[in-house]
Chain A
């Protein structure tokens, strides 16, 4: 072991990478399989509207549906590119 190894930044464990990937995957799957049929279309149209103003990628729009008791909450997250933020 070299001296530099002592100072090397610790990488996240592969298990925590797996967990993070799973979180995203499972949320996405649940929405696709349990959400209303119009969701993918909705996501596409929102994407198209935003693209009239800024350039964003497909994965920059994130739609989540959460059920809380009798109500459903549609959560929409749009990540804007760096230069568009100011």
Chain B
């Protein structure tokens, strides 16, 4: 049975699209048939992070409005046969998505896929509502910073009151993903710690993604960061998805990296 996961945050620019690409790729690497949908109508970023921007012909809005069918709009990932991208439209207005239309597309996707990952736009308006409405689980992406934590709390409130599951009296399963974490700054008392954020939001922690140069490198190349399996961020995302699937993995990258002997000698 297909599972619908929304990647959401309230605040913009915290790492939702990076996370959507990484999570979808990691799920597919583990053999699950996965599709990742860009709900950010008007902006369209996910295809860039996935590196498939030149293959976009039809988009999510075309399918919702029945101007194209799913087969025409789904883009197969460059590397993985079991991963597909449904890109957003760059031209349409934000209200082009409707509850009924989105539901019809999701139901059709559920016939083929194990996981449907929804990359939410920022904010709490129409687009964000569309992305979270049908979610069974939510990954709440948060940066260790006042406005981001506050907005995450707000979006959690909305998940538990305005999603379809909530309307039917159920609860959306939430996971906290703390991203752009800088252990050095936490140690100096300049940044909220994981424990601080967990205490305030009271949502189970799925993972901590360190602030990492590998993320920019990955998005420059259009290759999701989990493919960079030597990188800290790539490993942290891979850990988070393993945990999501029920594996017990200790949290890494929470402490200042102790520099090895060679690093101390040669710097870096």
- The residues of A with any CB-CB pair to B shorter than 8 Å are 13-16, 18-19, 21-23, 25-26, 29-30, 33-34
Contact = CB atoms under 8 A, between A and B. Distances in A.
A18 B192 contact: yes
Contacts of A19: 192, 196, 200
28 contacts: A13-B188, A13-B189, A13-B190, A14-B189, A14-B190, A15-B189, A15-B190, A15-B192, A15-B193, A18-B146, A18-B192, A18-B196, A19-B196, A19-B200, A21-B146, A22-B149, A22-B150, A22-B192, A22-B200, A23-B200, A26-B149, A26-B153, A29-B153, A29-B154, A30-B153, A33-B154, A33-B157, A34-B161
B122 interface: no
Given A33-B157, A34-B161, A16 B189 contact: yes
Contacts of A29: 150, 153-154, 157
Nearest to B145: A18
Interface in B138-177: 145-146, 149-150, 153-154, 157, 161
Contacts, number: 44
B158 to A, nearest CB: 8
B191 interface: yes
A19 B195 CA distance: 10
The 6 closest A-B pairs by CB, nearest first: A13-B189, A19-B196, A15-B189, A26-B153, A18-B146, A22-B200
Given A15-B192, A16-B189, A25 B150 contact: yes
A15 B157 contact: no
B161 A26 contact: no
A26 B203 CA distance: 14
B10 to A, nearest CB: 11
Contacts of B192: 15, 18-19, 22
Interface string B180-211: 00000010111111001000100000000000
A21 B150 CA distance: 10
B17 to A, nearest CB: 25
B203 to A, nearest CB: 12
A11 B153 CA distance: 28
Given A30-B157, A34-B157, A22 B190 contact: no
A15 B186 contact: yes
A15 B196 CA distance: 9
Given A13-B188, A18-B192, 8 more contacts: A13-B189, A13-B190, A18-B145, A22-B192, A23-B200, A25-B150, A26-B149, A29-B150
A66 B255 CA distance: 35
A25 B148 CA distance: 12
A68 to B, nearest CB: 15
Given A21-B146, A22-B150, A26-B150, A15 B191 contact: yes
A34 B157 CA distance: 7
Contacts of B188: 13
Contact of B200 (A15, A26, A33, A34): A26
